[in-house]
Amino acid sequence: MFAWVLGVTRPVLAPLGLSTACRVLDQLLGATLFGLAAGSVVALGQAMAGVGDSPRLTTIVVALVVVCLLKAALRYAEQFLGHLVAFKALELLRAEIFRALVPQAPRVLLSSRSGDLMTRATKDVDRIEIFFAHTFAPVVSAVVVPIIVLLTIGATTSWAVALWAAPFLLSAVLITPWVGARSSLAAARRSAETRARLNHHVTDSLQGMREVVGYGRADERLDEAQDFGRLLVRDSWAPTAWAALRRGANQWLMLGAAIAMVCVGLEETRGAGIDFVALAASTAAVIRLTEVVRGVEELAAAVSTSLASVERVWRTVHAPVLVEEGAEELPRCEEYDVVWENVSYRYPSAQRSALRDVNVRAAAGEWTCLVGVSGSGKTTLSQLALRFDDPAVGRVLVGGVDVRDLTNDSLRSTVGLVQQRAHLMRATVRENLKLAAPEATDEDITAACQAACIHEDILALPEGYETMIGERGASLSGGQGQRLALARMLLTQPAVLVLDEFTSHLDPALSERVRANLRGFLPRATIVEVTHKIGQVGTADRVVVLDSGQVVQAGQPAELLAVDGPLRRLAAREPEPVGT
């Protein structure tokens, strides 16, 4: 998986080598700084005791200042370059996720929670930042810096001193970071899944805030969120405990290295092998390597979280595409019919079929209504025309071509969909409209909005078409949101238009105006409408009645209403008269 991450981010990895070099030099200068200061203090002490010459304080202070300034510059360069690579890499990874999700959409929403997908594309990718900014450079410096320091001590002070310090340093760098790694990774995986569930819970709570508060379920939702919080706390115990154990072990190892160096060095000073100044400088330099060890230690604590996030992102990107795109383009035509031929379909998590052996034809240029009670299969049938999924049995044809053979661009540019709850961005009215047709002129936008009977409403807003509407169109009424979504779709001039309860929030008079305008705006379009309001089917060319996933009646609305059948029984349930 990490090989895949490196493959995706390879174009931006070049500065990582320079960042690593800066870290190595920074930590070497840190060891030099400690060694120079400690050696100078011992030399001054010896001079005051009458042993040896007194070092020049000015030279020492200048040297320390220069080393500090260089160290600061290198530290800044390391952090800047490391995070430059990290944030560029995150940009590439997010783009890779969205490239992978596009061919999976909208089918992926049938088997995945939207909150979970959002977490993978945002928080999980953010946690991979650790891999670039806080992994490669610390690992390299943890190997390189101790080796250089020990070789320097051996060459300038004593090989015996260096060799006695080596086991302690190697244990701190190569062994301690692995302590508790498996347990920490398992906990990180559980935490990642819990965070995804919590994010989905919070998303649902915020989007359904009115319902949650209105039904008095605010405390219950808060309790559920706290339950997720307790799970996160529970899963954090093991990684935290192992991190504390590693920190304590490394502290003892570094202390042991210093004690071993002093003991061996004092023994050698008796034989005049080394002097106290060199021993003090070497010991201080090794003590300074605590920073190197701590970097690897912190990496060990964070890498489990990063690895768990990499796994989740990798699974998202490499998830199988269940609705494969075809290669054909629809032939150019002014009118297309839509045919559902022997279609049967069952949702992935359902026990029973939503559609069973359905045969329906929406004739080219006609307005066909799919009616029935909730759960009868109307919406499922309409969504199959846009390949939300593919039927288990049978096929759907647009213009005589199986939709499975068409490219996504060809299908979506021909068949438009307006749903009951269309998504509106937190943007201006104009920006929401131009989402469908970025090249649309002001005249195009006005014409589409007039056809959808929303133009006057927009002009009444504080800033007209430049008014910012809230997330999901929060500042608009339900009916205004539906008409704005319709106007957006009309800008694309679809040859086939699927309408799913698109006037459910409108009063009968306004609904009739919208319908009349729609037919005038798209005179030759094939329109497939999903509705449970029988009073709205009087002007349709054809009505198809579904019940329990099967077609139970089909024909012209006047003929069906004239006989005692399913459509007439549905009409009898409505308080409003038919044909209004």
Cα gap 304→181, rounded to integer Å = 7
Q: Tens digits of per-residue pLDDT, 145-165? A: 999 999 999 988 888 888 999
pLDDT, average across residues 338-354: 90
Beta bridge partners of 340: 360, 396
Other Cβ atoms less than 10 A from the Cβ of 302: the count is 20
- Residue 491: per-residue pLDDT: 93
Would you call 216 exposed, middle or buried from its count of C-beta atoms within 10 A (0-12, 13-18, 19+)? Answer: exposed
Annotate 173-206 with three-state secondary structure.
HHHHHHCCHHHHHHHHHHHHHHHHHHHHHHHHHH
- Residue 578: per-residue pLDDT: 43
**Contacts of 351 by beta carbon, 8 Å cutoff, 6+ apart:** none
Tokens read off for 296: 């690897």
pTM of the model: 0.69
* pLDDT grade for 358, boundaries at 50, 70 and 90: very high
**Hey, what domains does the chain have and what are their CATH numbers?**
2-317 (1.20.1560.10), 338-572 (3.40.50.300)
Q: Tens digits of per-residue pLDDT, 522-554? A: 999 999 999 888 888 888 899 999 999 999 999
Q: 138 preceded by cis ω (within 30°)?
A: no
Closest CA to 293 of 71, 178, 76, 139: 139
- Residue 27: per-residue pLDDT: 92
Residue 240 has pLDDT above 60, yes or no: yes
Closest CA to 338 of 389, 383, 398, 391: 398
Q: Tens digits of per-residue pLDDT, 2-41? A: 678 878 888 888 898 899 999 999 999 999 999 999 888 8
* pLDDT grade for 575, boundaries at 50, 70 and 90: low
* pLDDT grade for 345, boundaries at 50, 70 and 90: very high
CA 539 to chain CA mean position, Å: 45
